[in-house]
Amino acid sequence: MNNNYMGEDYIIIKALENGVTIIGLTRGKDTKFHHTEKLDKGEVMILQFTEHTSAMKIRGHAEIISRYGTVTSEHTSGSRNS
């Protein structure tokens, strides 16, 4: 394991509509998508930043909770789940 790694934070995502997409992005020289999940309204997922996951993209209306606070992503007008 990389001794300089400072991750392992958890975040919680609660879907506020059907079809919320969570995309994990890799860490390193070339950032790539490595994992995708879909949540339906009311579903909750607990995620962790790891040595391999440096970022997450959340698409759709969701509540995102971390140690830094809570934020709500916007419902996109172009959503397929309107």
pLDDT tens for 16-36 read 999 999 998 887 777 777 889
- Cβ atoms of 45 and 7 within 8 Å: the answer is no
With a cut of 80, say whether residue 6 has pLDDT above it: no
Count of domains for the chain: 1
- Reply yes or no on whether the pLDDT at 71 is more than 80: yes
Q: Would you say residue 78 lies in a domain? A: no
Distance CA 68, CA 64 (A): 10
Distance CA 14, CA 63 (A): 5
pLDDT of residue 38: 96
Q: Which domain holds residue 38?
A: 10-72
pLDDT for residue 7: 54
pLDDT value at residue 52: 78
pTM listed for this prediction: 0.75
pLDDT tens-digit series, residues 37-61: 999 999 999 998 887 778 889 999 9
Q: Domain for residue 23, yes or no?
A: yes
Task: Return the CATH number at 14.
Answer: 2.60.40.50
Residues in CB range of 35: below 8 A, 6 or more apart:
23, 24, 53
Q: How far apart are CA 12 and CA 20, in angstroms?
A: 13
Residue 77 has φ and ψ, to the nearest 5°, of -65, -25
d(CA 72, CA 70): 7
- Is the per-residue pLDDT at 73 higher than 80? yes
